Structure 1
Amino acid sequence: MEDIEVVKTSAENTRAKILSAFKEHVLETGRQPVSVYKFAQSIQISEEEFYNYFTSFEGVKGGVWEQIFDQTVALMEAQDVYRAYSAKEKLLSFYFTWVEVLKKNRSYLLALYLGQTGYKKAMPDELRNFRNRFKDFANLIILEGKETDQIVERRGLSDKYEDALWVETLFILQFWLKDTSPGFEKTDAAIEKSVALVFDLIGKTAVDSLFDFAKFLYQSK
């Protein structure tokens, strides 16, 4: 049993080592490595060992996003008040905590993603596992919201709610990457207003929040 635990710990350490070295390379050069062979050599592992954890650098970038998601959830759930939050408050808590984790990785993320526009580029393949984990989280939010009447069941639309929350997540990411306001104040406002809008759209009132959100976007140009 101890041998299994040692192997597991060693594997986790190697995976973390790859993720950390990849981020460091991007921070130092402004781009991802070109060669898996040379990258593996630089961290003193074989190319074969690299492939035990990731099949490509796209997979490594996906691993960084999974790491960001896990850190966000861990920090969020560590708050004593989190379990008492409403569905809307839990979504707000996720986004505010997520942005705090993103801040720790801002230079890395700017190097890879700043300036990318359009839906396909805004959702590269490496976000796939992050998206799946977020959608699992979003479904829990939606279920709780329905149980507490914060979210309305609508025929033909309810199964799209998780997609709406994912689009909101991509919007917040793109907004934050381009935000130059002190302390990312505009991102905080964008989170509050977009969550208010989403809950009005999947709740009972939408017009007021839609107008307020459109006004905010116009003033933020």
Structure 2
Amino acid sequence: MAKKKNITQDKLISFYMDYVLMHNQAPNTVYAFAKENNFEEADFYKKFTSFEALEKTIFKVFLDNTLHVLEKSEDYQQFDARNKLLSFYFTFFENLTVNRSYVVYALKNKGLKSLSTLSELRHAFKKYIDTLDIETIDIKEPRIVKIQDYSKQESFWIQLMMIMKFWLDDTSPSFEKTDIFIEKSVHAGFDLMDIKPLKSVLDLGKFLFKEKMQ
């Protein structure tokens, strides 16, 4: 039988997810994996250096697919940062739910190794957070701005991990409790980051400083 041609990244991911769900483990070798799915071993290495690299890509693909859906929505384009993030989470977890069996395998069964599996997702998610233009205190000192940006990225990454853990343990119909948790988490997160009260204090301080100087 002729070997399959045009082996894309998506096809390799599909083959791999099917394999681990059928066998509850990764293939022993790329050679055996290629032979079982009838394609050339070299075609695997054109896309990935290892199964570990493929696993990392899977979670980034979930994020990429989420953004692809959102970018088509005119409503999403008009949302503020809070509602954009809500839409992102709802869509992202819909994608995870479609692939729940694999996600449970990858995150629940691998323990601490799953943190490495999420490294590409982490990088892509933090870049997404930067696009939301979440308001922070206007400070001109570059080092402070860098710390602010890092803290913002890390805070929302921790939030995503908390929601993912809740979703993995959620036994409610259609994971409706996860939807509630998403809403409460996002609103709480943005309320804690609300800088308007602090801005008012800073404005008062500037006013008093000017008055004293005069």
1:135: how far off?
A: 0.8
Residue identity opposite 2:148 in structure 1: S
Residues 123-171 of structure 1: CA distance to partner in whole angstroms, max 9, x if unpaired? 5222222111111110111x2x32xxxx445757522101101111111
Residues 84-120 of structure 1: CA distance to partner in whole angstroms, max 9, x if unpaired? 1011000000000001111110011112222666xxx
1:83: how far off?
A: 0.8
Match of 1:196? Answer: 187
In the alignment, is residue 97 of structure 1 matched against residue 91 of structure 2? Answer: yes
In the alignment, is residue 164 of structure 1 matched against residue 158 of structure 2? Answer: no
In the alignment, is residue 75 of structure 1 matched against residue 69 of structure 2? Answer: yes
Residues 67-93 of structure 1: CA distance to partner in whole angstroms, max 9, x if unpaired? 211110111222220011011000000
Match of 1:214? Answer: none
Label 1:193 to 1:152 Cα distance change in 2 as closer, same or farther (>3 A).
Answer: farther
1:45: how far off?
A: 2.2
Length-normalised TM-score, structure 2: 0.79
In the alignment, is residue 48 of structure 1 matched against residue 48 of structure 2? Answer: no
Identity of aligned residues (%): 34
Structure 1, unaligned runs of 5 or more: 1-9, 207-221
Match of 2:204? Answer: none
Contact 2:166 2:178 in 1 (8 A): yes
1:27 & 1:66 partners in 2: Cα distance? Answer: 19
Residue identity opposite 1:170 in structure 2: M
Alignment equivalent of 2:15, drawn from 13, 21, 26:
21
Length-normalised TM-score, structure 1: 0.76
- The Cα RMSD (Å) is 2.3
2:172 & 2:79 partners in 1: Cα distance? Answer: 29
1:122 & 1:176 partners in 2: Cα distance? Answer: 19
Residue identity opposite 1:96 in structure 2: F
1:113 & 1:126 partners in 2: Cα distance? Answer: 8
Match of 2:212? Answer: none
Match of 1:137? Answer: 128
In the alignment, is residue 39 of structure 1 matched against residue 30 of structure 2? Answer: no
Larger radius of gyration: 2
Match of 2:79? Answer: 85
Greater shift in the superposed pair: 50-59 or 97-106: 50-59
Question: How many matched pairs?
Answer: 187
1:183 & 1:83 partners in 2: Cα distance? Answer: 27
In the alignment, is residue 60 of structure 1 matched against residue 54 of structure 2? Answer: yes
Residue identity opposite 2:36 in structure 1: S
